Protein backbone atom coordinates (compact mmCIF):
# COMPACT_ATOMS: atom_id res chain seq x y z
CA UNK A 1 0.00 0.00 0.00
CA UNK A 2 1.33 3.47 -0.88
CA UNK A 3 2.53 5.63 2.00
CA UNK A 4 -0.01 8.33 1.10
CA UNK A 5 -2.98 6.00 1.35
CA UNK A 6 -1.59 4.37 4.50
CA UNK A 7 -1.22 7.82 6.03
CA UNK A 8 -4.87 8.52 5.30
CA UNK A 9 -5.84 5.27 7.01
CA UNK A 10 -3.70 6.14 10.04
CA UNK A 11 -5.28 9.59 10.23
CA UNK A 12 -8.77 8.08 10.10
CA UNK A 13 -7.97 5.49 12.76
CA UNK A 14 -6.56 7.88 15.38
CA UNK A 15 -8.74 9.27 18.14
CA UNK A 16 -6.17 12.02 18.32
CA UNK A 17 -4.81 13.94 15.37
CA UNK A 18 -2.20 13.46 12.66
CA UNK A 19 -0.33 16.66 11.76
CA UNK A 20 1.59 17.01 8.50
CA UNK A 21 3.98 19.72 7.25
CA UNK A 22 1.29 21.56 5.27
CA UNK A 23 -1.00 21.93 8.31
CA UNK A 24 -1.22 25.52 9.60
CA UNK A 25 -0.22 24.55 13.17
CA UNK A 26 2.66 22.28 12.14
CA UNK A 27 5.36 24.68 13.38
CA UNK A 28 3.65 25.05 16.73
CA UNK A 29 3.30 21.27 17.05
CA UNK A 30 6.99 20.65 16.38
CA UNK A 31 8.38 23.35 18.68
CA UNK A 32 10.23 22.08 21.76
CA UNK A 33 11.63 23.74 24.88
CA UNK A 34 15.12 24.24 23.44
CA UNK A 35 15.01 26.96 20.79
CA UNK A 36 18.23 25.62 19.23
CA UNK A 37 16.36 22.55 17.97
CA UNK A 38 14.78 22.99 14.53
CA UNK A 39 13.77 19.61 13.11
CA UNK A 40 10.99 18.96 10.62
CA UNK A 41 9.27 15.61 11.17
CA UNK A 42 7.29 14.09 8.31
CA UNK A 43 4.35 13.25 10.60
CA UNK A 44 3.29 14.14 14.13
CA UNK A 45 0.79 11.73 15.68
CA UNK A 46 -0.88 13.51 18.58
CA UNK A 47 -2.14 10.42 20.36
CA UNK A 48 -5.25 10.44 22.53
CA UNK A 49 -4.78 7.01 24.09
CA UNK A 50 -2.73 3.83 24.15
CA UNK A 51 -4.49 2.46 21.05
CA UNK A 52 -3.32 5.50 19.09
CA UNK A 53 0.24 4.89 20.26
CA UNK A 54 0.08 1.25 19.16
CA UNK A 55 -1.22 2.25 15.72
CA UNK A 56 1.45 4.91 15.33
CA UNK A 57 4.28 2.56 16.31
CA UNK A 58 3.08 -0.11 13.89
CA UNK A 59 2.68 2.47 11.11
CA UNK A 60 6.17 3.83 11.66
CA UNK A 61 7.70 0.36 11.69
CA UNK A 62 5.80 -0.71 8.57
CA UNK A 63 7.07 2.29 6.60
CA UNK A 64 10.60 2.38 7.94
CA UNK A 65 10.18 5.76 9.63
CA UNK A 66 12.47 6.93 12.39
CA UNK A 67 10.35 7.21 15.54
CA UNK A 68 10.68 9.95 18.14
CA UNK A 69 8.63 10.01 21.33
CA UNK A 70 7.57 13.35 22.76
CA UNK A 71 6.34 13.83 26.30
CA UNK A 72 7.09 17.23 27.82
CA UNK A 73 9.52 18.27 25.08
CA UNK A 74 12.19 19.27 27.61
CA UNK A 75 15.00 17.07 26.27
CA UNK A 76 17.79 19.60 25.83
CA UNK A 77 19.11 17.57 22.88
CA UNK A 78 15.70 17.64 21.19
CA UNK A 79 15.24 13.86 21.36
CA UNK A 80 11.46 14.30 21.12
CA UNK A 81 11.82 15.26 17.43
CA UNK A 82 13.07 13.55 14.27
CA UNK A 83 14.07 14.95 10.90
CA UNK A 84 11.58 13.56 8.37
CA UNK A 85 10.33 10.73 10.56
CA UNK A 86 7.35 10.15 12.85
CA UNK A 87 6.84 11.92 16.17
CA UNK A 88 4.58 10.07 18.60
CA UNK A 89 3.33 13.02 20.64
CA UNK A 90 1.82 12.02 24.00
CA UNK A 91 0.79 15.46 25.23
CA UNK A 92 -2.95 14.78 24.92
CA UNK A 93 -2.49 11.83 27.29
CA UNK A 94 -2.06 13.96 30.39
CA UNK A 95 -4.74 12.79 32.84
CA UNK A 96 -3.77 12.22 36.46
CA UNK A 97 -5.80 9.95 38.78
CA UNK A 98 -5.11 9.90 42.52
CA UNK A 99 -5.83 6.99 44.87
CA UNK A 100 -5.54 8.85 48.20
CA UNK A 101 -5.98 5.80 50.43
CA UNK A 102 -3.22 3.93 48.62
CA UNK A 103 -1.17 7.15 48.29
CA UNK A 104 -0.54 6.63 44.59
CA UNK A 105 -1.14 8.59 41.41
CA UNK A 106 -1.37 7.29 37.86
CA UNK A 107 -0.54 9.77 35.10
CA UNK A 108 -0.63 9.61 31.32
CA UNK A 109 2.62 9.48 29.41
CA UNK A 110 2.17 13.07 28.23
CA UNK A 111 1.48 14.57 31.66
CA UNK A 112 3.69 17.38 32.91
CA UNK A 113 4.63 17.97 36.52
CA UNK A 114 1.87 20.57 36.70
CA UNK A 115 -0.77 17.97 35.80
CA UNK A 116 0.58 15.68 38.51
CA UNK A 117 1.07 18.32 41.21
CA UNK A 118 -2.34 19.93 40.76
CA UNK A 119 -4.05 16.52 40.89
CA UNK A 120 -2.39 15.49 44.17
CA UNK A 121 -2.61 18.91 45.86
CA UNK A 122 -6.21 18.58 47.15
CA UNK A 123 -5.23 15.45 49.08
CA UNK A 124 -2.16 16.92 50.77
CA UNK A 125 0.02 14.49 48.84
CA UNK A 126 2.99 14.92 46.52
CA UNK A 127 5.94 13.15 44.97
CA UNK A 128 9.34 14.26 43.76
CA UNK A 129 8.99 16.47 40.71
CA UNK A 130 11.15 18.34 38.24
CA UNK A 131 12.36 21.82 39.01
CA UNK A 132 9.86 23.41 36.62
CA UNK A 133 6.21 22.51 36.19
CA UNK A 134 6.40 22.04 32.41
CA UNK A 135 8.76 19.05 32.61
CA UNK A 136 7.24 15.82 31.29
CA UNK A 137 6.66 13.23 34.01
CA UNK A 138 7.55 10.27 31.79
CA UNK A 139 11.04 11.17 30.58
CA UNK A 140 11.86 12.80 33.91
CA UNK A 141 10.94 9.73 35.96
CA UNK A 142 12.39 7.08 33.66
CA UNK A 143 15.67 9.02 33.59
CA UNK A 144 15.94 8.96 37.41
CA UNK A 145 14.15 12.14 38.42
CA UNK A 146 15.96 14.53 40.77
CA UNK A 147 14.06 17.49 42.24
CA UNK A 148 14.11 20.31 44.76
CA UNK A 149 12.79 18.07 47.57
CA UNK A 150 14.38 14.77 46.55
CA UNK A 151 16.35 14.76 49.81
CA UNK A 152 12.98 14.31 51.56
CA UNK A 153 11.03 12.10 49.12
CA UNK A 154 13.76 10.29 47.16
CA UNK A 155 14.26 10.30 43.41
CA UNK A 156 11.21 10.08 41.17
CA UNK A 157 12.24 6.61 40.02
CA UNK A 158 12.40 5.48 43.67
CA UNK A 159 8.67 6.22 43.77
CA UNK A 160 7.84 4.43 40.51
CA UNK A 161 5.44 1.53 41.09
CA UNK A 162 4.25 0.51 37.62
CA UNK A 163 4.45 1.50 33.96
CA UNK A 164 2.22 0.77 30.98
CA UNK A 165 4.66 0.37 28.09
CA UNK A 166 4.06 0.12 24.34
CA UNK A 167 6.83 -2.00 22.89
CA UNK A 168 8.56 -1.78 19.50
CA UNK A 169 6.22 -4.43 18.03
CA UNK A 170 3.11 -2.64 19.31
CA UNK A 171 2.52 -5.03 22.22
CA UNK A 172 1.32 -3.38 25.44
CA UNK A 173 3.00 -4.52 28.64
CA UNK A 174 2.16 -3.78 32.26
CA UNK A 175 5.53 -3.55 33.99
CA UNK A 176 6.03 -3.68 37.75
CA UNK A 177 8.14 -5.37 40.39
CA UNK A 178 6.06 -8.53 39.86
CA UNK A 179 5.60 -8.31 36.07
CA UNK A 180 8.69 -8.19 33.87
CA UNK A 181 10.91 -7.36 36.88
CA UNK A 182 14.13 -7.00 34.88
CA UNK A 183 12.47 -4.51 32.54
CA UNK A 184 11.04 -2.73 35.59
CA UNK A 185 14.56 -2.40 36.99
CA UNK A 186 15.73 -0.93 33.67
CA UNK A 187 13.00 1.72 33.78
CA UNK A 188 14.54 3.13 36.98
CA UNK A 189 17.04 5.33 35.17
CA UNK A 190 17.26 3.69 31.73
CA UNK A 191 15.06 6.31 30.11
CA UNK A 192 12.96 5.79 26.99
CA UNK A 193 15.16 3.04 25.55
CA UNK A 194 12.75 0.15 25.98
CA UNK A 195 9.31 1.34 24.94
CA UNK A 196 6.81 4.19 25.13
CA UNK A 197 5.47 4.85 28.63
CA UNK A 198 1.77 5.56 28.16
CA UNK A 199 1.07 5.69 31.89
CA UNK A 200 3.08 5.66 35.10
CA UNK A 201 1.99 4.93 38.67
CA UNK A 202 3.93 6.70 41.43
CA UNK A 203 4.04 6.58 45.21
CA UNK A 204 2.90 9.72 47.02
CA UNK A 205 3.99 11.30 50.30
CA UNK A 206 2.22 13.57 52.77
CA UNK A 207 3.12 17.11 51.75
CA UNK A 208 0.65 19.93 51.33
CA UNK A 209 2.61 23.12 51.95
CA UNK A 210 6.25 24.10 51.85
CA UNK A 211 8.14 27.07 53.19
CA UNK A 212 10.23 28.69 50.45
CA UNK A 213 13.10 31.12 51.06
CA UNK A 214 15.19 32.74 48.33
CA UNK A 215 18.08 34.81 49.75
CA UNK A 216 20.18 37.09 47.54
CA UNK A 217 23.70 38.52 47.80
CA UNK A 218 26.00 40.44 45.44
CA UNK A 219 28.19 38.01 43.48
CA UNK A 220 31.32 39.14 45.31
CA UNK A 221 29.88 37.80 48.59
CA UNK A 222 29.47 34.32 47.10
CA UNK A 223 32.74 32.61 48.16
CA UNK A 224 32.20 33.13 51.89
CA UNK A 225 28.44 32.57 51.79
CA UNK A 226 28.87 29.41 49.73
CA UNK A 227 31.31 27.93 52.24
CA UNK A 228 28.78 28.53 55.01
CA UNK A 229 26.00 27.05 52.86
CA UNK A 230 28.15 23.99 52.14
CA UNK A 231 28.87 23.43 55.82
CA UNK A 232 25.20 23.88 56.71
CA UNK A 233 23.89 21.48 54.06
CA UNK A 234 26.33 18.73 54.99
CA UNK A 235 24.43 18.39 58.29
CA UNK A 236 20.98 19.68 57.25
CA UNK A 237 17.82 17.63 57.87
CA UNK A 238 16.17 15.93 54.91
CA UNK A 239 13.40 18.52 54.92
CA UNK A 240 15.79 21.14 53.49
CA UNK A 241 16.20 21.03 49.71
CA UNK A 242 17.02 23.56 47.02
CA UNK A 243 20.42 24.76 45.91
CA UNK A 244 22.93 27.60 45.63
CA UNK A 245 22.61 29.54 42.37
CA UNK A 246 24.37 32.24 40.40
CA UNK A 247 21.76 34.07 38.32
CA UNK A 248 20.83 37.41 36.83
CA UNK A 249 19.07 39.50 39.46
CA UNK A 250 15.41 39.60 38.34
CA UNK A 251 13.34 42.81 38.30
CA UNK A 252 11.20 41.74 41.25
CA UNK A 253 10.02 43.74 44.23
CA UNK A 254 12.14 41.71 46.67
CA UNK A 255 15.36 42.32 44.67
CA UNK A 256 17.30 45.49 45.57
CA UNK A 257 17.85 47.85 42.64
CA UNK A 258 21.62 47.36 42.73
CA UNK A 259 21.21 43.61 42.09
CA UNK A 260 18.70 43.83 39.23
CA UNK A 261 20.24 42.81 35.91
CA UNK A 262 23.57 41.93 37.56
CA UNK A 263 25.27 38.64 38.35
CA UNK A 264 23.82 37.72 41.73
CA UNK A 265 24.32 34.84 44.16
CA UNK A 266 21.30 33.16 45.77
CA UNK A 267 20.36 30.28 47.99
CA UNK A 268 17.00 28.68 47.28
CA UNK A 269 15.81 27.01 50.47
CA UNK A 270 12.55 25.06 50.23
CA UNK A 271 11.61 23.37 53.49
CA UNK A 272 9.05 20.58 53.80
CA UNK A 273 7.20 22.19 56.68
CA UNK A 274 5.93 25.47 58.07
CA UNK A 275 7.68 28.81 57.80
CA UNK A 276 8.09 28.95 61.57
CA UNK A 277 9.88 25.59 61.56
CA UNK A 278 11.96 26.60 58.56
CA UNK A 279 13.21 29.84 60.09
CA UNK A 280 14.44 27.95 63.13
CA UNK A 281 16.29 25.36 61.07
CA UNK A 282 17.65 27.87 58.53
CA UNK A 283 18.74 30.48 61.09
CA UNK A 284 22.49 30.08 60.31
CA UNK A 285 21.87 31.04 56.68
CA UNK A 286 19.58 33.93 57.56
CA UNK A 287 22.47 35.36 59.60
CA UNK A 288 24.81 35.78 56.62
CA UNK A 289 23.75 39.32 55.71
CA UNK A 290 21.63 38.72 52.62
CA UNK A 291 20.47 41.82 50.73
CA UNK A 292 17.30 40.50 49.13
CA UNK A 293 14.74 38.00 50.36
CA UNK A 294 11.62 36.22 49.20
CA UNK A 295 9.99 34.12 51.90
CA UNK A 296 6.57 32.50 51.80
CA UNK A 297 4.65 29.44 52.89
CA UNK A 298 2.76 28.04 49.91
CA UNK A 299 1.23 24.92 48.40
CA UNK A 300 3.86 22.57 47.00
CA UNK A 301 2.28 22.79 43.54
CA UNK A 302 2.70 26.58 43.56
CA UNK A 303 6.36 26.26 44.52
CA UNK A 304 6.92 23.77 41.70
CA UNK A 305 5.97 26.39 39.09
CA UNK A 306 7.64 29.35 40.82
CA UNK A 307 10.81 29.12 38.73
CA UNK A 308 9.32 28.16 35.35
CA UNK A 309 11.37 29.36 32.41
CA UNK A 310 9.54 30.28 29.20
CA UNK A 311 10.20 27.97 26.24
CA UNK A 312 12.01 29.09 23.12
CA UNK A 313 15.36 30.16 24.57
CA UNK A 314 18.53 28.60 23.20
CA UNK A 315 19.59 25.96 25.73
CA UNK A 316 22.80 24.22 26.66
CA UNK A 317 23.08 22.23 29.89
CA UNK A 318 25.67 19.97 31.45
CA UNK A 319 26.52 18.43 34.81
CA UNK A 320 29.29 17.17 37.05
CA UNK A 321 28.85 15.24 40.30
CA UNK A 322 31.37 15.88 43.05
CA UNK A 323 32.63 13.56 45.78
CA UNK A 324 33.84 16.62 47.70
CA UNK A 325 33.48 20.40 47.55
CA UNK A 326 36.49 21.86 49.38
CA UNK A 327 37.45 25.52 49.52
CA UNK A 328 39.54 25.27 46.34
CA UNK A 329 36.48 23.97 44.46
CA UNK A 330 34.33 26.74 45.93
CA UNK A 331 36.77 29.36 44.63
CA UNK A 332 36.80 27.88 41.11
CA UNK A 333 33.02 27.54 41.08
CA UNK A 334 32.56 31.20 42.01
CA UNK A 335 35.18 32.49 39.56
CA UNK A 336 33.67 30.59 36.64
CA UNK A 337 30.28 32.24 37.24
CA UNK A 338 31.81 35.44 35.87
CA UNK A 339 31.65 33.82 32.40
CA UNK A 340 27.88 33.41 32.47
CA UNK A 341 25.80 35.31 29.94
CA UNK A 342 24.28 38.18 31.93
CA UNK A 343 21.57 39.28 31.67
CA UNK A 344 19.87 36.03 30.66
CA UNK A 345 17.89 33.26 32.36
CA UNK A 346 21.13 31.20 32.61
CA UNK A 347 21.89 29.75 36.02
CA UNK A 348 24.93 28.08 37.56
CA UNK A 349 23.41 25.72 40.09
CA UNK A 350 24.98 23.78 42.96
CA UNK A 351 22.62 21.09 44.23
CA UNK A 352 23.14 19.32 47.57
CA UNK A 353 22.30 15.62 47.55
CA UNK A 354 22.33 13.28 50.54
CA UNK A 355 19.15 12.51 52.46
CA UNK A 356 16.82 10.07 50.73
CA UNK A 357 18.74 10.48 47.46
CA UNK A 358 21.78 8.78 49.00
CA UNK A 359 19.80 6.39 51.20
CA UNK A 360 17.46 5.24 48.45
CA UNK A 361 17.64 1.92 46.56
CA UNK A 362 21.27 1.37 45.58
CA UNK A 363 20.57 -1.24 42.89
CA UNK A 364 19.02 1.05 40.28
CA UNK A 365 21.14 2.30 37.34
CA UNK A 366 21.56 5.82 38.77
CA UNK A 367 25.17 5.87 40.05
CA UNK A 368 25.15 9.64 40.54
CA UNK A 369 22.89 9.40 43.59
CA UNK A 370 25.79 8.76 45.98
CA UNK A 371 27.67 11.99 45.24
CA UNK A 372 27.07 14.69 47.88
CA UNK A 373 27.13 17.57 45.37
CA UNK A 374 25.92 18.25 41.84
CA UNK A 375 27.11 21.17 39.69
CA UNK A 376 24.64 22.00 36.92
CA UNK A 377 25.43 24.78 34.42
CA UNK A 378 21.99 25.54 33.01
CA UNK A 379 22.40 27.88 30.06
CA UNK A 380 19.56 29.77 28.36
CA UNK A 381 19.98 32.75 26.04
CA UNK A 382 18.32 34.41 23.06
CA UNK A 383 21.07 35.40 20.65
CA UNK A 384 22.61 32.68 18.44
CA UNK A 385 25.84 34.68 18.54
CA UNK A 386 26.15 33.66 22.20
CA UNK A 387 26.04 29.90 21.46
CA UNK A 388 29.76 29.20 21.64
CA UNK A 389 30.24 31.42 24.67
CA UNK A 390 27.41 29.71 26.53
CA UNK A 391 28.64 26.22 25.68
CA UNK A 392 32.22 27.03 26.63
CA UNK A 393 31.16 28.33 30.04
CA UNK A 394 29.45 25.00 30.76
CA UNK A 395 32.43 22.98 29.56
CA UNK A 396 34.89 25.11 31.51
CA UNK A 397 33.13 24.72 34.83
CA UNK A 398 33.10 20.95 34.33
CA UNK A 399 36.82 21.02 33.58
CA UNK A 400 37.55 23.21 36.61
CA UNK A 401 35.80 20.81 38.99
CA UNK A 402 36.96 17.54 37.45
CA UNK A 403 39.57 16.90 40.21
CA UNK A 404 36.66 16.34 42.62
CA UNK A 405 34.25 14.69 40.16
CA UNK A 406 32.81 11.22 40.67
CA UNK A 407 32.47 10.66 36.91
CA UNK A 408 28.76 9.81 37.19
CA UNK A 409 26.22 11.62 35.00
CA UNK A 410 22.50 12.39 35.35
CA UNK A 411 21.51 12.09 31.71
CA UNK A 412 18.41 14.26 32.06
CA UNK A 413 20.81 17.15 32.70
CA UNK A 414 22.86 16.87 29.50
CA UNK A 415 22.52 16.95 25.73
CA UNK A 416 24.66 14.94 23.31
CA UNK A 417 28.05 14.55 24.99
CA UNK A 418 29.18 11.21 23.53
CA UNK A 419 28.88 7.53 24.34
CA UNK A 420 31.29 7.63 27.29
CA UNK A 421 29.03 10.07 29.11
CA UNK A 422 25.99 7.88 28.36
CA UNK A 423 27.75 4.86 29.85
CA UNK A 424 28.76 7.01 32.85
CA UNK A 425 25.08 7.81 33.31
CA UNK A 426 24.42 4.18 34.22
CA UNK A 427 27.81 2.78 35.28
CA UNK A 428 29.69 0.13 33.31
CA UNK A 429 28.08 -2.91 34.95
CA UNK A 430 24.61 -1.42 34.77
CA UNK A 431 25.15 -0.50 31.12
CA UNK A 432 25.91 -4.12 30.24
CA UNK A 433 22.81 -5.28 32.09
CA UNK A 434 20.69 -2.59 30.42
CA UNK A 435 22.05 -3.59 27.01
CA UNK A 436 20.84 -7.13 27.63
CA UNK A 437 17.36 -5.82 28.53
CA UNK A 438 17.43 -3.66 25.40
CA UNK A 439 18.34 -6.68 23.27
CA UNK A 440 15.38 -8.60 24.63
CA UNK A 441 12.72 -5.89 24.31
CA UNK A 442 13.99 -3.64 21.47
CA UNK A 443 16.61 -5.65 19.56
CA UNK A 444 16.37 -3.44 16.45
CA UNK A 445 16.88 -0.25 18.50
CA UNK A 446 13.64 1.30 17.27
CA UNK A 447 13.65 3.60 20.30
CA UNK A 448 17.08 5.14 19.75
CA UNK A 449 16.27 8.85 19.98
CA UNK A 450 17.36 9.10 23.60
CA UNK A 451 20.59 8.67 25.54
CA UNK A 452 20.86 5.43 23.71
CA UNK A 453 21.69 1.99 25.03
CA UNK A 454 22.82 -0.27 22.18
CA UNK A 455 21.25 -3.74 22.21
CA UNK A 456 23.76 -6.32 23.46
pLDDT, tens digit, 9 for 90 and up, residues 374-428 = 999 999 999 999 999 999 999 999 999 999 999 999 999 999 999 999 999 999 9
Q: pLDDT band at 127, cuts 50/70/90?
A: very high
Report the distance separating Cα 145 and Cα 131, nearest Å. Answer: 10
pLDDT in tens, 208-224: 899 999 999 999 999 99
- 218 strand-pairing partners: 264
pLDDT in tens, 34-90: 999 999 999 999 999 999 999 999 999 999 999 999 999 999 999 999 999 999 999
Looking at the domain that runs over 96-206, which CATH code has it been given? 3.30.465.10
Q: What is the pLDDT of residue 310?
A: 80
Q: Is the pLDDT of residue 3 over 80?
A: no
**Prediction pTM value:** 0.96
Q: pLDDT band at 148, cuts 50/70/90?
A: very high
Strand, helix or coil for residue 176: strand
| Helix-strand-coil split of the chain, %, nearest 5 | 35, 25, 40
Going by C-alpha positions, the residue among 129, 283, 260 that lies closest to residue 213 is: 283
Which residues of the chain form CATH 3.30.465.10?
96-206
- 29 near 73, Cβ under 8 Å? no
Q: What is the pLDDT of residue 27?
A: 97
Q: Is the pLDDT of residue 188 over 60?
A: yes
Which residues of the chain form CATH 3.30.43.10?
3-89
- 295 strand-pairing partners: 213
Mean pLDDT (the chain) is: 97
How far the first Cα of the chain sits from its last, in Å, is 34
Stretch 264-278: mean pLDDT, rounded? Answer: 97
Report the distance separating Cα 128 and Cα 203, nearest Å. Answer: 9
Q: What is the pLDDT of residue 333?
A: 98
Looking at domain 3-89, which of 3.90.1150.10, 3.10.310.30, 3.30.413.10, 3.30.43.10 is its CATH number?
Answer: 3.30.43.10
Q: What is the pLDDT of residue 5?
A: 64
Percent of the chain at pLDDT exceeding 70: 99
Q: Please tell us whether the domain made up of 209-413 is placed in CATH 3.40.462.20.
A: yes
13: Cβ–Cβ under 8 A, 6 or more apart, which residues? 55
Q: pLDDT band at 6, cuts 50/70/90?
A: confident
Amino acid sequence: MAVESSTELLEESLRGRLIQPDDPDYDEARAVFNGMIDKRPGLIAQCAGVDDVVRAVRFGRAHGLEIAVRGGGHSVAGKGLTEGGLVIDLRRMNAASVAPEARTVTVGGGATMSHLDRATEPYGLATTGGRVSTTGVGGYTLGGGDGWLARKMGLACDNLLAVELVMADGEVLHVSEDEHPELFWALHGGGGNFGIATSLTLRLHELSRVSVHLLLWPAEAAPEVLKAYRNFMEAAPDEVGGGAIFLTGPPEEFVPDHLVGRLTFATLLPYAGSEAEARGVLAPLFGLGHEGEFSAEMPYADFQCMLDDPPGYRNYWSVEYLDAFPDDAVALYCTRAEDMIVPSPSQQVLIPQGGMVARGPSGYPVPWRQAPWCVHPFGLWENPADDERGKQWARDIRADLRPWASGAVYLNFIGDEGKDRVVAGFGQDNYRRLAAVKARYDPENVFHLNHNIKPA
